[in-house]
Amino acid sequence: MHTFLPIAYFEDHFIPFAEAKLSVATHALHYGTAAFGGLRGIPDPENPRHILLFRLDRHCQRLSNSAKFLHYDISAAKIEQIITDFVRKNQPKSSFYIRPLVYSSGLGIAPRLHNIEKDFLVYGLEMGDYLAADGVSCRLSSWHRQEDRSFPLRGKISAAYITSALAKTEAVESGFDEAILMNSQGKVCEATGMNIFMVRHGQLITPGPEQDILEGITRESILSLAQDLGLSTVQRSIDKSELLIADEVFLSGTAAKITPVKRIESFVLPTERPITQQLKTALTAITENRNPQYAHWVNTISLD
């Protein structure tokens, strides 16, 4: 059961969350003509009257770009200001998740993007760990990731997540925690809402953008952080067989943060994960604003 933040941004106003309601005829509900973002906020461990948001600018820019696929022009600056005001209105006291959404708000019948009204909303909910912090088991999904030639994968489009939903349910109903999707070429792509990394022979490896992945912001941050830590990194295609015998595998995302993978199908992975732990410790310090080198990645919002 989710605990939602009390105030939502809806139809150009801040109103009680319980009053933010859509018509059953809303175009986005029927045709998936929406795009969303997601970012975490935490009270500053040093000052609970300050809220820390990780890479707010990048999240807002990605959502602005995603909106372009819907023929909706909304600037990253506008999204950032609304999210900042949203946080101040809600006065959160514990870790939480923000969900901004751009969507076709018109009530028309026909799958189209022209001549249909668009809108923007924001709501939030309290959130701790999205996946088990000590690690998860994964199955290789029978569902494959879409291709960019038939779907705008550079956008975080809501319709794409039917594949994620199918894969997640398939995994859970067959006794696993999470699913790993392959792309149309049979290469490792991503999990249901997370990017994937593996470590082999001391090198950090992740599928590149040409593998039809979502260009995750946490993923991008991990790659930059790893390079700064002197770790060897490479973006390339990954075969199923090498994933199964990797030294370390972990998932990354806004909700998942860095979550180790303990088992893939029947293959049990090593319990020693030095690179995963190094990156997880370093990223946690950054999100808690304890590393001045990365202070520009963290927005501090005063609640006073």
| pLDDT tens for each residue of 239-279 | 999 999 999 999 999 988 999 999 999 999 999 999 999 99
Topology agreement, domain 7-126 and domain 136-287: no
**246 contacts 198 by C-beta, under 8 angstroms:** yes
Our measurement of the distance from residue 92's CA atom to the centroid of its chain's CA atoms, rounded to an integer in Å, reads 21
Q: What average pLDDT score do residues 230-246 get? A: 97
The 3-state DSSP class for residue 169 equals helix
- 7-126 CATH, one of 3.40.50.11540, 3.30.499.10, 3.20.20.60, 3.30.470.10: 3.30.470.10
Which pLDDT does position 129 carry in this prediction? 85
For the cut 90, the answer to whether the pLDDT of residue 131 exceeds it is: no
Q: Give the mean pLDDT of 68-79.
A: 98
Looking at residue 62, its pLDDT comes to 98
pLDDT on residue 27: 98
Q: Is residue 132 predicted with pLDDT exceeding 90?
A: no
pLDDT in tens, 157-207: 999 999 999 999 999 999 999 999 999 999 999 999 999 999 999 999 999
Q: Is the pLDDT of residue 221 over 90?
A: yes
Instruction: Give the Cα separation of 33 and 69 in Å (integer).
Output: 9
Domain ranges across the chain: 7-126, 136-287
Are the CB atoms for 204 and 233 separated by under 8 Å?
A: yes
Instruction: Classify 165 as helix, strand or coil.
Output: helix
pLDDT value of residue 289:
95
* Mean pLDDT computed over every residue of the chain: 96
218, 257 in Cβ contact below 8 A? yes
Structural contact between residues 35 and 156, judged by C-beta atoms closer than 8 angstroms: yes
Q: Which numeric CATH code is attached to 136-287? A: 3.20.10.10
pLDDT at residue 130 greater than cutoff 90: no
* pLDDT tens track for 108-119: 899 999 999 999
pLDDT at 55: 97
**Cα dihedral sign, 12-13-16-21:** negative
User: Count of residues for the chain?
Assistant: 304
Task: Report, as an integer, the average pLDDT of 41-62.
Answer: 96
Q: Are 97 and 38 in contact (CB under 8 A)?
A: yes
Task: Read off the tokens for 185.
Answer: 């070429």
d(CA 92, CA 38): 16
| pLDDT of 67 above 90 | yes
Q: What is the pLDDT of residue 91?
A: 96
